[in-house]
Each structure stands twice: as C-alpha cells, then as structure tokens.
Amino acid sequence: MPAPADRRSFSMPVSVQPADIDELGHVNNISYLKWVQDVATAHWRAVAAPEHIAAYIWVVTRHEIDYVKQTLLGETLTVTTWVGTPKGARFDRFVEICGSTGDVRARAVTTWALLESATGRLVRVRADIAAPFIAAEPD
C-alpha cells in the first residue's frame, strides 16, 4: 500500500541487529514497533517547520500492526511513512516496512495526537502544521 499521490512519504533504512532478534530467530515485534515510532519522529523532524517542532509534541494513542513476512538478522529494510487526513488533534500515520527486494514485512497504522509542549494540552492540527506532509498540487 504505497502512499497516496496527495501525501509526501518519508523513508529511512534500518539494518537488523542482534538485539532485534527474538528466541524464534527473527525480528521481534517490539523492534517493528520501535521502527514505526522512529520513522514517524524522523519524518516530523525532517519536514516540520522549526517553530512547530519547538512548540508541539506528538503522542501515540493507538498502534495497529500487521506482520506479513519474517525478517532475519543482517537484513536491511526500508521503513516508509506518510500521514492521513487530520481529524481535530489527531491523524493516522501509515507505515510500510519492506525488505531489500521491496517485499512487505509489516504494515502499521498508528494514531498520533498533537500536544502543545508548554501545556501538554491537545491542539488541533492546523493546515499550516499539516502542509509539509501534503504533496503540492500539480501546476
């Protein structure tokens, strides 16, 4: 499920380390969850306006992960994310974790809520906050 044309995606590589492997010999679900969080944070820091990064923080309210295919030690993965449509203070973030040949290993949908850093209160995701994550309209 690639990002829709109206959303800017963000990708990062991940190398599977010994600490990611569970007693079954493949990547533990906690590592997948960490990568979901890491790519979301990296996406925010890479494209959000500096004043928004300083003023707001994101917290997860829900994770849903589908594990599609096992991943083994030493593999290199690509973790790609994009956001859905803001709904008040929240929006869904989509993540796809793929192997080096593009085969999907896991998919996630997470719901994030925007908080004002100074107060810890929920704030609406305004258009100017969401804009860097939305693809520019074609000319």
- Consecutive sets of 10 residues in the chain, 139 residues long: mean pLDDT of each? 78 97 95 97 96 97 96 97 94 96 97 97 96 71
Q: In this structure, what CATH number is given to the domain that contains residue 89?
A: 3.10.129.10
User: 20 lies in a domain?
Assistant: yes
Task: Check residue 135 and give its pLDDT.
Answer: 75
Expressed as residue numbers, the domain containing 56 is 10-133
- pTM for the full predicted model: 0.91
Task: Check residue 7 and give its pLDDT.
Answer: 79
Task: Check residue 134 and give its pLDDT.
Answer: 87
User: 123 lies in a domain?
Assistant: yes
User: 35 lies in a domain?
Assistant: yes
User: 84 lies in a domain?
Assistant: yes
Task: Check residue 39 and give its pLDDT.
Answer: 98
Q: Tell me how far apart the alpha carbons of residues 53 and 48 are, in angstroms, rounded to a whole number.
A: 6
User: 64 lies in a domain?
Assistant: yes
User: 5 lies in a domain?
Assistant: no
Cβ(112)–Cβ(58) under 8 Å? Answer: yes
Domain count, the chain: 1
User: 72 lies in a domain?
Assistant: yes
Cβ(65)–Cβ(30) under 8 Å? Answer: no
Question: Backbone phi, then psi, for 49, in 5-degree steps?
Answer: -65, 140
User: 89 lies in a domain?
Assistant: yes
Cβ(117)–Cβ(55) under 8 Å? Answer: yes
